[in-house]
Amino acid sequence: MSTPPTPQELLEALKQVKYPGFSRDIVAFGVVKDIAVGGAAVTVELAPSTGNAEVIANIRQRVIETLSRLVHLPVEISIQQPDAPKPTPQSKPEIPGVRHVVAVASGKGGVGKSTVSVNLATALARAGQRVGVMDADVYGPSIPLMLGITEKPKSTEDKRLIPVTKYDMQIMSMGFLIPDSHAVIWRGPMIDKLLTEFITKVEWGELDVLVVDLPPGTGDAQLTMVQKVPLSGGVIVTTPQDVALLDARRGIKMFEEVNVPVLGVIENMSYLLCRSCGHEAHIFSHGNGIKMAEQFGLPFLGQLPLVHEIVAGGDAGIPLVIAQPDHPQSQTFLEIAQQVLKQVETSSVRPGPLQ
């Protein structure tokens, strides 16, 4: 008769169970509180950080499936109910001087999230807001290129970073700190340390809105931001493709799980617009972004077509909203900015960090 696995061995096995919507496992999240191996059953005590019944059921089922492959005993699960989240008062933001923090996210790469972040930020600035941009895309920082910035941030005597100013906005990016030819090969703790310094050791000054360009997906960088910054809300960028929409749904779920309101959905690359005749070619499908927003009961902020001017502006370091303020798509960005402003200004409670 074989010796049953120890609680520690079972805990190691549960590190393969990812927390729904995140790249981290349930052990890293602290969900697994206790494991007991008895003669009649294996008992696991779980403490999810959410009250979402669907997420809890998902975790419970995957724990049972994982442990049942290792032990020939019934697996009994007990669930600790999470405490109600305590909202952070709006008068006490985590970043001094910053009124609102808006995260721009996408479930996958290649959907134009950074392009949207830059043009949304410049549109907010054109609307009279004091704006900052935090490039939290550690592995692929593209904000310096898109804003045409080649200078480096300066530091104060007490080693605090001063953001680079461009187009009347305060900018901070990992791209300022490493040469373009270097790859960032970092594990989670290093990413957490860098983004924490961007939050706590940067002299952002007085800002109405800090736009955070998150990396694609739902990994360590996103977790750091939602834990340590009282986000006013998140904006989801997607394309009409089914694969992009599938990942965008994960981004929406991520914000919901950490009690951050989703301000709306932007469908980028909605169609190819012919500059000669004005014909719209829907090469990535059509209308799926609107349907997804309706499915989740979210505002649909707007559609952005594939047009040469948006791409050229990013490559030249002059965002379309700055280069061609009267362009139809510049007007779309301004309309999106107004919708975002309206939502963050009317929000009475700012969400607290993940417990």
Segment 113-154, tens digit of pLDDT? 899 999 999 999 999 999 999 998 877 788 999 999 989 889
Report the pLDDT value the prediction gives residue 355, as an integer from 0 to 100. 34
Q: Is 229 a residue whose pLDDT tops 70?
A: yes
Token pair, residue 335, equals 């309309």
Between these two residues, 185 and 336, which has the higher pLDDT value? Answer: 336
| Whether the model pTM is above 0.75 | no
Give the model's pLDDT for residue 60: 92
pLDDT for 86:
45
Cβ neighbours of 303 (radius 10 Å):
18
Give percent of the chain above pLDDT 70.
85
For residue 163, the model assigns a pLDDT of: 94
* pLDDT tens-place string over residues 179-203: 565 555 556 677 778 788 888 889 9
Separation of alpha carbons 80 and 193, rounded Å: 31
Which pLDDT value is given to residue 240?
A: 81
**Long-range CB contact pairs, 344-349, < 8 A, 24+:** 344/100, 344/102, 344/209, 344/232, 344/233, 344/263, 345/100, 347/232, 347/233, 347/261, 348/90, 349/87, 349/90
Q: Which H or E run contains 200? A: helix 188-200
| pLDDT confidence of residue 244 | 62
Most confident of 83-87, 257-261, 279-283: 257-261
**pLDDT confidence of residue 181:** 54
What is the mean predicted confidence (pLDDT) over 71-75? 89
Which tokens sit at 144? Answer: 């310096």
Whole-number CA gyration radius for the chain = 22
pLDDT at 348: 41
Instruction: Give the pLDDT of residue 2.
Output: 66
pLDDT value, residue 233: 92
If you count DSSP H runs as helices and E runs as strands, how many of each does the chain have, helices first? 11, 14
Q: Give tens-digit pLDDT for 273-322.
A: 777 776 777 777 777 788 888 888 888 898 888 888 988 998 999 999 99
Distances (CA, A) of 305 to 126, 234, 286, 309, 322: 21, 22, 11, 11, 18
Q: What domains does the chain contain, in order, with CATH numbers? A: 7-79 (3.30.300.130), 98-346 (3.40.50.300)
Better pLDDT: 307 or 15:
15
Dihedral through CA 311, CA 312, CA 313, CA 317, nearest 10? 110
Residue 95 has pLDDT above 60, yes or no: yes
Whole-number pLDDT of residue 252: 85
pLDDT over 70 (residue 354):
no
For residue 25, what pLDDT is reported?
81
Q: Which residue has the tokens 């961007």?
A: 198
Burial class (CB in 10 A: 0-12, 13-18, 19+), 295: exposed
The mean pLDDT of the chain is: 82
Phi, psi at 81, each rounded to 5°: -75, 135
pLDDT digits (tens, 9 = 90+) for 197-227: 888 889 999 999 999 998 877 667 777 777 7
Q: Which of 234, 207, 70, 233 is nearest to 133 (CA)?
A: 207
Q: Which of 195, 197, 190 is nearest to 161 (CA)?
A: 197
Which stretch of 86-100, 167-181, 191-205, 338-352 has the lowest confidence by average pLDDT?
86-100
User: What is the share, in percent, of the chain residues with pLDDT greater than 90?
Assistant: 35
